[in-house]
């Protein structure tokens, strides 16, 4: 069953936290993560277990989150501000994908700060920093480090013309892919077959989709039917981000 969270509903979860010495704010959309787990939270799944989780990070101007890695595959989407992810300049809208157990970063915020979604389809207990755990990372058997960062795409000032789609990440045989959809007012969209991957996040970047404003999220489970949605009166721009299947998922 898919999960939809509007940016308006998520706003109440915004809170300040400390990320390895960096004061950030996080807004939780889906799942339980290291920023919102309490003593009353259900026991966490095993690291890497199928478990959609999504939160928005607001990193202050000039701050640096050092290189680190996670237990789950991950998309990140830059939605405000600017800076660098590793050597890559990033600004809205940039997509970064990294396999589980792949070190990436540092994440450096520019003068306007840097805001980005962190989106996973597997449980992760929190970042592990390369400065302290480089040897442990290299010793993990069977890991397949890989990552990629897209060139930024500017949101359209007005959503007009016919519906269209652009590839952000070229689809791979294992199901990994990312697409940008631009929908005129009232246009209907049927997403990719979820069975071709291991879950999809839909990120509304402009306009409205199914009545949800920008920075709203939908997670589509791989056992769901293809998701259908309708653009609002101003049209909609959205990203569809699909995770790859692993050998154990086949």
User: CATH no. for residue 69?
Assistant: 2.60.120.10
192 and 231 assigned to the same domain: yes
145 plus 24 within the same structural domain: yes
Residues 19 and 142 in one domain: yes
User: Is residue 106 assigned to a domain?
Assistant: yes
156 falls within a domain: no
Owning domain of residue 192: 164-249
For 145, the token pair is: 């480090």
pLDDT for res 42 = 85
Same domain, 97 and 124: yes
Does residue 99 sit within a domain? yes
- Name the domain count of the chain: 2
Domain-embedded: residue 139: yes
Residue stretches of the chain with pLDDT short of 70: 157, 247-250
| Residue 240 token pair | 């569809």
Q: Which of 101, 100, 82 is nearest to 90 (CA)?
A: 82
Is residue 2 situated within a structural domain?
A: no
**43, 136: one domain:** yes
Same structural domain for residues 83 and 107? yes
Q: Which pLDDT value is given to residue 250?
A: 47
Q: Examine residue 155 and state whether it is found in any structural domain, yes or no.
A: no
The answer on 173 and 128 residing in a single domain is no
Residue 215 belongs to some domain of the structure = yes
Same domain, 113 and 209: no
Is 126 domain-assigned? yes
For 15-64, the pLDDT digits (tens) are 999 999 999 999 999 998 888 888 888 888 888 889 999 999 999 999 99
- At 246 the pLDDT is 80
pLDDT at 157: 67
| Residues 137 and 47 both lie in one domain | yes
The label of the residue with tokens 């700060």 reads: 113
Domain end residue (candidates: 149, 182, 198):
149
Q: Is there a contact between 147 and 76 (Cβ–Cβ < 8 Å)?
A: no
pTM given for the model: 0.95
Cα separations in angstroms, 35 against 16, 38, 116, 131, 174: 9, 9, 15, 22, 31
């Amino acid at each position: 069953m898919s999960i939809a969270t509007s940016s308006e509903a998520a706003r109440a979860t915004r809170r300040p936290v400390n990320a390895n010495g960096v004061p950030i704010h996080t807004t939780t959309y889906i799942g339980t993560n290291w920023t919102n787990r309490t003593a009353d939270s259900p026991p966490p799944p095993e690291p890497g277990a199928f478990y959609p989780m999504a939160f928005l990070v607001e990193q202050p101007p000039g701050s640096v989150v050092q290189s680190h890695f996670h237990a789950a595959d991950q998309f990140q989407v830059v939605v405000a501000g600017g800076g660098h992810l590793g050597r890559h300049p990033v600004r809205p809208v940039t997509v970064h994908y990294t396999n589980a157990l792949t070190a990436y970063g540092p994440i450096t915020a520019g003068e306007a700060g840097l805001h980005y979604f962190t989106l996973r389809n597997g449980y992760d207990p929190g970042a592990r920093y390369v400065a302290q755990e480089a040897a442990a990372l290299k010793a993990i058997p069977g890991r397949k480090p890989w990552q990629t960062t897209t060139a930024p795409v500017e949101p359209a000032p007005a959503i007009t013309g016919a519906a269209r789609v652009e590839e952000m990440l070229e689809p791979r045989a294992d199901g990994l892919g990312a697409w940008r959809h631009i929908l005129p007012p009232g246009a209907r969209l049927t997403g990719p077959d979820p069975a071709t991957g291991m879950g999809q996040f839909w990120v509304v970047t402009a306009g409205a989709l199914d009545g949800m404003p920008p920075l709203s999220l939908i997670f589509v489970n791989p056992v769901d039917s293809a998701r259908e949605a309708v653009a609002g009166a101003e049209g909609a721009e959205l990203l569809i981000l699909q995770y790859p299947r692993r050998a154990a998922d086949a």
